[in-house]
Structure 1
Amino acid sequence: MKKNLIISALVLISMSTCAYGAEGYVFSVNNKVNSSVQINTNAPSYDYLKFYDIDAEMISAKLKVFNRKKEKDFIKTLSKKDKENYNYAKKVEKLVQKGRWNELSIKYPNYLPAYLEYYDKYISSNDYAGALLVLNKIQSLDKYNMVISADVLNYAYAMLYYNTYQYSNALRYFKIFEFTKNDGIYSSIGNCYFYLNNYQSAINYYKKIKVPTYTDKEYLFSAYLKMGNIFEANKYAQSLLNENYNFKNLMRVEATTSDDVAKLTYAYKARSLALTEEELVRANAEISALEQKKLEAKVMKLTQFVKVSKWSEFAKQMPENVSVQEISDKQDEFFKTANTYLSKYSGQQLTNAFKSLNEDFTNFVAQKKQEYYQEKQIQAQKELVLEQQRNNLLQQELIEEQRMHNYLEERNLYYNMSRPQPRYW
């Protein structure tokens, strides 16, 4: 919605009071036009603005609404010319209310209030590309910024370019407001640089923010991570985790931690908070790699050769009928059993134990595959039966149709034969 362009609290800035918001900030503006504002009457449609409530800060207009009595009283105060203009405005408003924008743009191409309403329509429906086209028209009609200030227009352009992923253009407009030293502006400039893959410049602007928001810290984490600066990325991952203890932040810390023991701890903690199968799979992939690495490191310290199976080899063979949770449970069982064998056995006993472990999980995979194929066969048989039932039903319908056809033909024949034949002489 349009209000999405202006977010959270107001901030005073040292410029012509202009307000906007981005990424959790507001860049405040107070620039409203009303009937008392002196307007250049030589400009197109300015004579009609007195009949509208203009919110210049939000770039919107609404025709003033009266009840019947108040409207009569209002019209009495108007001059003959203003009455004509008021009726003209009401005529245009009818097209606006009916949403006949194409007709309106053809019949009234220079009627500024209608374009302000058109802009509001696009913003309210989050159609930023459409709003951008209308804003160009508004700028051309209000070229001297008598209604909408240059600051408001420039920030609107910045936001619309940003929301249509035109980050180079958005950056150009956001930089107009850099002198305000506003946190929201710094954040928006940083975001533009981030999406333009200029991560160092993004970081430079994020660092200028006096009070970074949670979102700013997320961008800083991502920027450092993309630059390969794991140490700095980990600092922001820890900060994010302190603010919001969840799966995503635990995995961020895990990804930027160098110690494998700590990484494994964070991965297990993240898994315990997984809310989706996708998150569970992601956590298990990290756990599997770390547990396998730890297992093989233990085996390397042995004086004998022991072949260690890889859990990933079993996991990738699992058929579709094995749930993500069951795979997770079997993964835990595999590594727990393997580590138990390492601490409990040695020599030939250890070799036999790992051989047994490999056989157990090979058999498990084979069993699951067999169950899967059996389920598929049963499903195929059910589908075959259903198809046969559909064919039988269709055949019965065809037989009934033919029976009815024969009945009608016999009836018509009987009717024709029973009718008296006319005599001609």
Structure 2
Amino acid sequence: MKKNLIISALVLISMSTCAYGAEGYVFSVNNKVNSSVQINTNAPSYDYLKFYDIDAEVISAKLKVFDRKKEKDFIKTLSKKDKENYNYAKKVEKLVQKGRWNELSIKYPNYLPAYLEYYDKYISSNDYAGALLVLNKIQSLDKYNMVISADVLNYAYAMLYYNTYQYSNALRYFKIFEFTKDDGIYSSIGNCYFYVNNYQSAINYYKKIKVPTYTDKEYLFSAYLKMGNIFEANKYAQSLLNENYNFKNLMRVEATTSDDVAKLTYAYKARSLALTEEELVRANAEISALEQKKLEAKVMKLTQFVKVSKWSEFAKQMPENVSVQEISDKQDEFFKTANTYLSKYSGQQLTNAFKSLNEDFTNFVAQKKQEYYQEKQIQAQKELVLEQQRNNLLQQELIEEQRMHNYLEERNLYYNMSRPQPRYW
């Protein structure tokens, strides 16, 4: 029971801080310091632990801090040996506070409390690669788990490997805790399998979760989609949409729906919730393909031949000066007009109507291109004028500089001529 409680606490702590961090200082046995540094190769560490607040569950250590009076009182209670150890600990702590980790790792290579502080520093800055290197050192110094339990150490390895994208190694450590039947452990194992592309195993572990989180359902959706199981993927897409009605989930449902009418409905709903140009473009791409397919299916049922233009051909010709929103509006106009013509006209009138539609949008594209080229020409002319102005200003500066140079030369010449010339005998 106690072990289960520890693991559950670790899961909560680690899940709340699970993020990728920037690289910081990375410990290396090859780090160099001044050659005058003396190495205390036999310095024990356990004797000094009494002077530290050790949090073994999150692998951290802090030297106990006293004010001057309390420290004096505290020192009085220590034996001679403990006083030496306390002063030794303070000496090491000075290097810790100054961040002189290179020197510390060489001068005190076996001082466990310093490495616990070092590890905590990396975790606090989300530098998991650095923390992993330090954890290896901690494990070698605390090989019998006198300070950090094997469970805590193994779970730390699992999280660090996970956060450094080493999913196969992370999986090996997470599976140590499978016996806990903890939802967080099952989720982590599932994630590791997902990232090594073993989607069926990922699904098997996600299915073991008693109360799946929103994120668990997202992974299940993606795993089923990767496997091509559209039916199961759609079930989770619908579940996600029920929890969070947004663009992303609407597009998930659209992508896993087989009925084109329903797909088009979801695509339009998603577009109405688009918050970025990227989302608007994505939704319009789906809408365009579905509307074009629907339009061509209607034309196929006609008894006459009618050439139907493709909206995508117009869209890809749009120059940069046409906004994403304007393209979206023209797309709607194109399909609305085409569908109106199909329901309103027949025979030659329908042929003429579609010819007119093609001409209208061809002219629109041509007009936008002309506007774009005109804008470019105007911009080029403005830049040319600015360049000419800069050249004129530079020319004026050169003229002024030459004028000043001439003035100084004339003044020096006058000064030299007006001075009495010395006589030599």
Q: CA offset at residue 313 of structure 1?
A: 0.4
TM-score normalised by the chain length of structure 2 = 0.90
Give distance in 2, aligned partners of 1:286 and 1:18. 35
Distance 1:344 1:376 in 2: 42
Relative to structure 1, is the Cα distance of residues 69 and 417 closer, same or farther in structure 2, using a 3 angstrom cutoff?
Answer: farther
Do the aligned partners of 1:34 and 1:50 also contact (CA within 8 Å) in 2? no
Q: 1:14 to 1:314 in 2, by over 3 A?
A: closer
CA drift of 1:8 comes to 10
- Could you say what secondary structure the match of 2:53 adopts? strand
What percentage of residue pairs aligned between the two structures are identical?
99
Q: Could you report, residue by residue, the CA deviation over 1:248-289 in whole angstroms, capped at 9, with x for unpaired residues?
A: 000000000000000000000000000000000000000000
- Report if aligned partners of 2:168, 2:196 keep a CA contact under 8 Å in 1: yes
Q: Secondary structure at the match of 1:385?
A: helix
Task: Tell me, yes or no, if the aligned pair for 1:25 and 1:184 is still in contact at 8 Å.
Answer: no
- 1:419 is displaced (CA, Å) by 4.0
Contact 1:186 1:208 in 2 (8 A): yes
Q: How far apart, CA to CA, are the structure 1 residues paired with 2:16 and 2:310? A: 66
**Runs of 5+ unmatched residues, structure 1:** none
- Does the CA contact (< 8 Å) of 1:20 and 1:26 recur in 2? no
Q: State the match for 2:174 in structure 1.
A: 174
CA distance in 1, matches of 2:123, 2:14: 27
Q: CA deviation at 1:413?
A: 3.3
2:9 partner SS: coil
Query: Structure 1 pair 33/191, CA: closer, same or farther in 2 (3 Å)?
Result: farther
CA distance in 1, matches of 2:5, 2:29: 13
Distance 1:357 1:241 in 2: 38
The Cα of 1:38 is off from its aligned counterpart by: 30
SS in 2 for 1:19: coil
CA gap of 1:6–1:123, structure 2 versus 1, over 3 A, is farther
Q: 1:421 to 1:16 in 2, by over 3 A?
A: closer
CA contact (8 A) 2:277 2:324 kept: yes
Deviation at 1:17, TM superposition (A): 19
Cα–Cα, structure 1 residues 4 and 299, in superposed 2: closer, same or farther, change >3 Å? farther
> CA deviation digits over 1:180-226, x for unaligned, max 9?
11111110010001000010010011111111100000000000000
Inter-CA distance 23–68: structure 2 relative to 1 (3 Å threshold): closer
Change (3 A) 1:15 1:303: closer
Query: What's the CA shift for 1:60?
Result: 0.8
Q: Is the 8 A contact 1:206 1:216 kept in 2?
A: yes
**Shift of the alpha carbon at 1:389?**
1.1
Change (3 A) 1:237 1:366: same
Distance change in 2, residues 1:373/1:18 (3 Å): closer
Superposition deviation, residue 78 in structure 1: 1.2
**1:114–1:9: structure 2 CA closer, same or farther, 3 Å change rule?**
closer
Aligned length: 425
Worse overlay, 256-265 or 116-125: 116-125
1:167–1:196: 8 Å Cα contact kept in structure 2? Answer: yes
- Name the stretch that deviates more: 8-17 or 217-226: 8-17
What's the offset of the Cα at 1:84?
1.6
Q: CA deviation at 1:106?
A: 1.5
Shift of 1:165: 0.4
State whether residues 31 and 57 of structure 1, in contact with CA within 8 Å, keep that contact through their aligned partners in structure 2.
no
Is the CA contact (8 Å cut-off) linking 1:40 and 1:46 kept in structure 2? no
1:97-146 CA deviation, whole Å, 9 max, x = no partner? Answer: 11111111121111111111111111111111111111111111111111
1:7 deviation in Å? 12
Distance 1:369 1:18, change over 3 A: closer
**CA distance in structure 2 between the aligned counterparts of 1:73 and 1:30, rounded to whole angstroms:** 42
Cα distance in 1 for partners of 2:18, 2:290 equals: 53
What RMSD in Å do the two structures reach over aligned CA positions?
7.2
CA distance in 2, matches of 1:30, 1:289: 59
| 1:190–1:206 contact (8 Å) kept in structure 2 | yes
Instruction: Give how far 1:420 is off.
Output: 4.1
1:47–1:85 CA contact under 8 A, matched in 2? yes
Contact 2:20 2:126 in 1 (8 A): no
Once residues 213 and 29 of structure 2 are traced to their aligned partners in structure 1, the CA distance between those partners, rounded to angstroms, is 22
Asked whether the 8 Å contact 2:41–2:109 carries over to 1, the reply is no
